[in-house]
């Protein structure tokens, strides 16, 4: 992990919003990763959810939007935030390093799972992927991304492939940037996840005929609502209760499009992500 990511949250601006005259105590410190093309887009899309949680708990809040996935894991591990909406791998990193806890798994169109994908320029034919893609350019997301780095890296390893030598490799991009790079012909291949690609097509940011999916993972657990180690038990319970109480009607009002609520996280919710991290030597167990 590169050094600038460690300082990311310290440098990012936070926005404090009171939830009402009756709000008590210090603000809850929330964070969210780079789900949208810009930090401003992410804030607009996710802030209503955090405002809803804070109001349910009866506290004011601060929301920080990070610019990469690794940074949010470091921030949670370093007690810079109390709770975060974060990708599965970022949560597992924070759990491994500092005992972060997943309270809930988000549901997207009613499902708690999604898929990592690899997309390609539409004119490129790969009938025997990945063997016939050797030497092509590929863009991975940053090393804190589940679908953009961890799962494709792990899958290539199961195929006996080191992507850094098999392809003309680069990493560190956001998911929207990866899709745009393929659509514009800047790279041959890129990692992404199905929810992001569908959202970008629906928003008109890319056309469906500008990219094609050449690989899809097994189902992966959706994003976590995670909290730092040591957060007071009553606050954790209140946050979980507030998240689980969000039905489809409320989700349509306070969550980004297509998110429909949350289900409680259990010990096995992110076990497959932990196994991939261990296999790659990125978390304890090597």
Residue 35 CB contacts under 8 Å (≥ 6 apart), including other chains: 42, 45, 46, 196, 256
Please give the Cα distance from 32 to 35 (Å, whole number). 8
Q: Are 87 and 144 in contact (CB under 8 A)?
A: yes
Give the pLDDT confidence of 257-286 residue by residue, as tens digits: 999 999 999 989 999 999 999 999 999 854
Distance CA 89, CA 194 (A): 16
Q: 98-126: per-residue pLDDT in tens?
A: 899 999 999 999 999 999 999 999 999 99
Model confidence pLDDT, tens digit, residues 144-166: 899 999 999 999 999 999 999 99
pLDDT at residue 17 tops 80: no
Nearest of 262, 261, 265, 245 to residue 101 by alpha carbon: 265
Q: pLDDT per residue over 34-92, tens digit each?
A: 888 889 999 999 999 999 999 999 999 999 998 877 788 888 888 899 999 999 998 99
pTM of the predicted structure, to 2 decimals: 0.85
Q: Which of 55, 14, 48 is nearest to 31 (CA)?
A: 14
Cβ-in-10-Å burial (0-12, 13-18, 19+) of 125 comes to: exposed
d(CA 179, CA 167): 18
pLDDT of 8 over the 70 cut: no
């Amino acid at each position: 992990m590169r050094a600038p990511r460690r300082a990311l949250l310290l440098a990012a601006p936070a926005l404090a919003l009171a939830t009402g005259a009756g709000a008590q105590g210090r603000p809850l410190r929330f964070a969210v990763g780079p789900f949208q093309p810009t930090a401003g887009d992410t804030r607009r899309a996710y802030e209503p959810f955090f405002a809803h949680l804070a109001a349910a708990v009866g506290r004011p809040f601060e929301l920080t939007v990070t610019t990469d996935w690794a940074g949010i894991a470091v921030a949670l591990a370093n007690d810079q935030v109390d709770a975060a909406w974060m990708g599965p791998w970022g949560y597992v990193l924070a759990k491994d390093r500092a005992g972060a806890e997943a309270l809930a798994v988000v549901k997207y169109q009613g499902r708690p799972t999604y898929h990592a994908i690899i997309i390609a320029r539409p004119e490129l034919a790969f009938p025997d992927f990945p063997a016939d893609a050797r030497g092509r350019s590929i863009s991975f997301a940053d090393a804190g991304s589940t679908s953009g780095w961890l799962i494709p890296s792990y899958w290539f390893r199961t195929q006996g492939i080191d992507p850094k030598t098999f392809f003309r490799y680069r990493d560190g991009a956001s998911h929207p940037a990866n899709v745009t790079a393929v659509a514009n012909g800047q790279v041959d291949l890129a990692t992404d996840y199905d929810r992001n690609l569908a959202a970008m097509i629906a928003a008109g940011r890319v056309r469906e005929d500008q990219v094609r999916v050449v690989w899809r993972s097994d189902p992966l657990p959706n994003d976590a609502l995670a909290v730092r180690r040591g957060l007071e038990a009553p606050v954790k319970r209140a946050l979980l209760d507030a998240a689980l109480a969000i039905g489809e009607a409320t989700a349509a009002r306070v969550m980004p499009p297509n998110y429909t609520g949350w289900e409680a996280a259990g010990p096995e919710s992110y076990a497959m992500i932990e196994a991939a991290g261990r296999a790659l030597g990125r978390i304890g167990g090597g």
